[in-house]
Amino acid sequence: MELDYTLQLICLQLQNKIGIIMLYNSRYAIIFLGLIGICFSACISDTKIYAPDKFTGKISQYTVQTMPFKVFPKDFLWGIATASCQIEEISSKLIPHIPHAPNTLTSEYLDRFKSDERVSKMLDNWQEPGESSRGYSQAKQLVDLAQSMGCNSYRFSIEWARVEPKPGEFNQEVIEHYVELCRYIRSKNMTPMVWLHHYIDPIWFMDKGGFTTTENTQYFIEYCNKMVDALSPYVDMFVVTNQATAYAYKGYNRGSQMPFIKDDIKTSKKVAHSMLQATCDVARHIRSKGKSTGVCHQHVQNEYKEHPELSSDLNDGKQRAKDFYEEYTKIFIDFFTNTAENKDLFDFVAVHYYSRYRFGYIDGYGKVPCDFYPHEAALRTDDGFRFIDGEGLYEAIQFFNKLFPHKPLYVVETGINTKDENFAIQFMNTYISTIIKAIQDGIPVKGLMFWTLIDNYEWGKNFTSRFGFFSRMEQKPYKRAWYYQQVINEFKKTYGIPSKVSELAY
């Protein structure tokens, strides 16, 4: 076993360095790498219902040429994901012809919190997205980039602050912009998957208390229903909220996102409940239009180890974060399993997954040593707190398949932050192989969407991360975009689906 384990690590490192994306079929083969995943917040819990079953099988690794594409359903969605708040321009000062989006990422809003020493120190590394990735003015060009890889699906979100700049005042020009975008996606034979909320709110909504008061949810529901009515002719798949529990945790417990409130567990739970209930209310409207809607949550398995060399405050912070994740898994599960009406509202599960966490990046933005096992450390990404984790992805998919039996699953967000393109391809290959394994085991995985189409604004890191398949301003493809195109082309060949894209040059 020791020899097996050592040779696996050597194989993993060789793959990373020389870009070999293949399965070593020998006796001492690498039998699992890692994979991405879903947006669901959870932890290892003593109560089985709140934790996935431990994966004990084997994930085979394939080359593009050996992937069993017949395993995938013919209508499998090969997509790419974006978020309006991370790619769209937000400043009318910079781009006067674009309707202003007064959301909570504006420098004016962030400056409000600089009187708090903790927040001010954190915000020293933040900047306004500004021109960002020109996702509003060049929305159609970005769709063209997705199509150039052969994608048959495109995930994006609506910027609420731009649609409703003041309470009850809706900008019809902006609404028509998003309608035209969906129409354009359809014209490219792609399926639009629309998120109505992705972390960011209008400033006026936050000034009213945001989701901390039940009364305020009516503003959100009205906005969502209005967009559903406008987009329904061109959109069949909606997701109302992106990671409601993560929104509540980061904004009201960890204090790392707007409104930067720390350790207010009572309010954070209230916010999570308000968002989940509003999600259900909007889901009813979506279904009344004959459209499908998905439930999206963040599931992350966590393991906590106390570090004797750390201060008690840091260890306590890690434990609090672990406890919070576990509690919010229970909130999510109980919300949907204790009320059959809520559970049956949703037609599919939108899964986000990157990797398991080892609790290193916890106390505000303070750096705490991550508890990686040796084989995980060899697969560590540029973030420093994630790793290629196919085993964890499989466990997450299996977990939600049990929670929502017979519901189709879409892995709608997973990605890797790395400038090493061979490492990025290794990650993609591993996660696709994991999904193959899940489908072979009878789990109805119906689509995969990588994060993200283009290098964009990342929380607290501005434009320094590389999750994109294309560069931010030049819009040039990276090698991972070429690889994704090869995968999709082989899938289409298997089913005799015409492919008219030219090979990408990276």
- pLDDT above 90: residue 372: no
Q: Are 228 and 25 in contact (CB under 8 A)?
A: no
Q: Are 143 and 181 in contact (CB under 8 A)?
A: yes
pLDDT tens profile 44-80: 333 334 566 788 889 999 989 999 999 999 999 999 9
Output the pLDDT for position 448. 99
Q: Are 57 and 307 in contact (CB under 8 A)?
A: no
- pLDDT above 80: residue 2: no
- Give the best-scoring range by mean pLDDT among 49-53, 189-193, 344-348, 382-386: 189-193
Residue indicated by tokens 């196919």? 390
Q: Torsions phi, psi of 304, nearest 5?
A: -110, 130
369 versus 406: which is more confidently predicted? 406
Output the pLDDT for position 92. 56
* Residue type for position 90: I
Give domain limits for the chain. Answer: 1-31, 32-495
- pLDDT above 50: residue 380: yes
Q: Are 480 and 110 in contact (CB under 8 A)?
A: no
- pLDDT above 90: residue 140: yes
CATH fold for domain 32-495: TIM Barrel (3.20.20)
103 versus 228: which is more confidently predicted? 228
pLDDT tens profile 304-348: 556 566 566 666 666 666 666 677 778 888 888 777 788 789 999
Q: Torsions phi, psi of 381, nearest 5?
A: -90, 175
Alpha helices in 39-129 (DSSP H): 84-87, 107-110, 117-123
Q: Are 440 and 71 in contact (CB under 8 A)?
A: yes
Of the given ranges (192-196, 342-346, 359-363), which has the lowest mean pLDDT?
Answer: 359-363
One DSSP character per residue, 443-476 reads --EEEEEEE-SB---BTTTBT-----SB-TTT-P
Of the given ranges (9-23, 296-310, 348-362, 401-415), which has the lowest mean pLDDT?
Answer: 9-23
Region 357-378: what's the mean pLDDT?
60
Output the pLDDT for position 370. 62
pLDDT tens profile 496-505: 999 989 999 9
Length of the chain as a residue count: 506
Region 259-274: what's the mean pLDDT?
93
Residues 257-278: b if buried by 16+ CB within 10 A, e if exposed: bbbbbeebbebbbbbbbbbbbb
Coil/strand/helix, residue 481? helix
- Give the best-scoring range by mean pLDDT among 27-31, 371-375, 383-387: 383-387
* Residues linked to residue 195 through DSSP beta bridges, in sequence order: 157, 239
pLDDT tens profile 24-46: 333 333 222 232 233 333 333 33
Query: Rounded to a whole number, what is the distance in angstroms from the first to the last CA of the chain?
Result: 40
Q: Say how far apart CA 334 and CA 352 lie, in whole Å.
A: 20
Output the pLDDT for position 50. 58
Burial of 226 (0-12, 13-18, 19+ CB in 10 A): middle
- pLDDT above 60: residue 394: yes
Q: Which of 456, 377, 446, 374 is nearest to 415 (CA)?
A: 456
Q: Are 244 and 279 in contact (CB under 8 A)?
A: yes
The pTM assigned to this predicted structure is 0.86
Output the pLDDT for position 295. 94
